[in-house]
Amino acid sequence: MEYDFGITALGNRFHMDWRHEGPDPAALVRGWAALVAVDEDGREEIRLLGRDVRLLLDSPLADAEIHALWRTAATYYPVGPGTAHGRAWLTGIERELRPVGGAVAAGVAPGVDRNEVHAVTRLAHALEQVDELPLEPVPVDAVRNAVIHVAEKVDDELAFRFLLHAYAAYGTPVPESRYGEFRRISESLGHGAFMLETIGYLVE
């Protein structure tokens, strides 16, 4: 994929004005899925989202870890009473995707390098908080540990995408040398040219 995809791309839809896309989170997912399911590219986006969701649902991550990761990607996701979090939210996403064939079994995408665990964890250790997440404080240590847990126990490519969003969410500066490492990993994982737009403005 040239751009962000899967669960992290869905998180991008929860921006400051996300309620223009649906009155509640489930409606946003349902409306997006119906919109993109009309062609093969869109159905592939749905499949990739379904894969990410299933990877996380089947993972050993605690609900609090899943929520911390999701909040770095979806900075304006509602946090009040009655809002689904953690596995409950992922199950809700899967439920909304099912009518358009988006729920799939977890698995490794063919032809993608899965040897970037140590590189992703090194970059995760450099994550630091400059900004605070809107709506709800989430400790940067919790996100750092969750990213490392995903890289080591679930999927290094998924961990890398969450890490990009974590750097952006917390405003962590990216020295040029570190950006070179991000670029190398992204290319190794088979990403397209625009994946690193998430952190481009942080490069020093």
pLDDT at 160 exceeding the cut of 80: yes
| Residues 29-71: tens digit of each pLDDT | 999 999 999 999 999 999 999 999 999 999 999 999 999 999 9
Q: What is the dihedral of CA 5, 10, 15, 20, to 10 degrees?
A: 120
Which value, in Å, is the radius of gyration of the alpha carbons in the chain?
A: 16
Residue 11 and residue 47 in one domain: yes
Higher pLDDT, 29 or 1: 29
Residue 27 and residue 90 in one domain: yes
For the chain, first and last CA: distance in Å?
26
Contact 50, 10 (CB under 8 A): no
| Domain end residue (candidates: 65, 100, 135) | 100
Q: Is 1 among the domain residues?
A: no
In the chain, the number of structural domains is: 2
Q: Is 164 among the domain residues?
A: yes
Q: Is 177 among the domain residues?
A: yes
* Residue numbers of the domain that contains 75: 6-100
pLDDT at 204 exceeding the cut of 90: yes
pLDDT at 156 exceeding the cut of 50: yes
| Residues 132-151: tens digit of each pLDDT | 999 999 999 999 999 999 99
Residue 96 and residue 145 in one domain: no
Residue 92 and residue 158 in one domain: no
Residue 81 and residue 166 in one domain: no
| Residue 2: per-residue pLDDT | 85
> pLDDT > 70: what percent of the chain?
94
| Domain end residue (candidates: 69, 100, 131) | 100
Ranges 80-89, 97-106, 150-159, 191-200: which has the least confidence: 97-106
Q: Is 142 among the domain residues?
A: yes
Q: Is 105 among the domain residues?
A: no
Residue 78 and residue 121 in one domain: no
Residue 96 and residue 177 in one domain: no
pLDDT at 103 exceeding the cut of 60: no
Q: Is 49 among the domain residues?
A: yes
pLDDT at 118 exceeding the cut of 70: yes
Q: Is 111 among the domain residues?
A: no
| Residue 80: per-residue pLDDT | 85
For 45, residues 6+ apart whose C-beta sits below 8 A from its C-beta are 5, 9, 36
Q: Is 168 among the domain residues?
A: yes
How far is Cα 51 from Cα 102, in angstroms, rounded to an integer? Answer: 8
| Residue 114: per-residue pLDDT | 62
